[in-house]
Amino acid sequence: MSDFKFDARRWSRPQRITLVATAVLFVSLFLPWFTYNYGFGTISVDGLWHGWMYVTLLVSLAVIVYLVARAGFVPMPFELPVAEDRLLLVGTGINVVLTVLAFAFKPGGIGLSGIGWGFGAIVGLVAAIVAALPYALPEIQARRAASRPASPPSDPPPPGGPGPTA
């Protein structure tokens, strides 16, 4: 196995964006996500209030550890079963889906329960989306390009130009 020698220059721009945004998402899980003002004070819960957000915590940690290892090992001490971009797309995609669900389903239901979003929920939602964008946008663009029908080749005009119309 090769020695670990950290070099941040080994990260591509999408990897840097994903790393920073995923780290922000990770930290946001410990900030207030939902708040309730009961007159004499305010109570809040963090992003882990929804049990499924522990999956986001673990996936975020895995993405961060993978990208730090990527900057430190050349070559990597293990081989991935899928392409790196696909792996990061899946990981950040899971985080986006779970974060959007946690943002949408406030404690007390969707109605007017007096429970509002805290700072951490907004930061976490934005960070999850930003972390996924560098891998999701190229994938979306490639799928759109593949789904467009190719324009049929146009027949060349006959020699001498179009004939008289009758």
Alpha carbons 124 and 22: distance in angstroms, whole number: 9
Express each pLDDT in 96-141 by its tens digit: 999 999 998 888 765 556 788 899 999 999 999 999 999 999 988 8
Helix (H, G, I), strand (E, B) or coil at 35: strand
Compute CA distances 47 → 10, 85, 150, 165, whole Å: 32, 27, 46, 74
Express each pLDDT in 148-159 by its tens digit: 776 666 666 667
Alpha carbons 162 and 165: distance in angstroms, whole number: 8
pTM score, whole prediction: 0.81
